[in-house]
Amino acid sequence: QVQLVESGGGLVQAGGSLRLSCAASGSILRINAMGWYRQAPGKQRELVASIPTGGMTNYADSVKGRFTISRNNAKNTVYLQMNSLNPEDTAVYYCNAAIQDSRRLPYEYDYWGQGTQVTVSS
């Protein structure tokens, strides 16, 4: 089955940087759009950034100019480079991917990572 595994979260001081990675594995035929979401304490989950197959990225207003999403299709991996972090960025970050599973053709399904904690201290 398809699985998304995230890494790169941790504790960082305000103004610092982190790079999140999410690698997909399993019976993958094709990965379409990929993205990152986050859920802060007491908040609803929100879209942080997304990147479709064509590579035209989209960002939440709160992270524009600070975060960069990218992908390596050969490695089935999506990245989120986070710079100039502030305490408001503290959240569990989840990656998401729309994937065609070779075992579930012809449909596309959404898959989610387990989440990785990002904590930004002042």
pLDDT in tens, 85-122: 999 999 999 999 999 999 987 889 999 999 999 999 99
pLDDT of residue 106: 82
pLDDT in tens, 8-63: 999 999 999 999 999 999 999 999 999 999 999 999 999 999 999 887 999 999 99
pLDDT of residue 104: 86
pLDDT of residue 114: 97
pLDDT of residue 19: 98
Confidence of residue 1 (pLDDT cuts 50, 70, 90): confident
Cα–Cα nearest to 96, from 41, 27, 39: 39
State how beta strands 91-101 and 28-39 pair: antiparallel
Contact predicate 121/17, CB 8 Å: no
pLDDT of residue 36: 98
C-alpha to C-alpha distance for 16 and 49, rounded to whole angstroms: 19
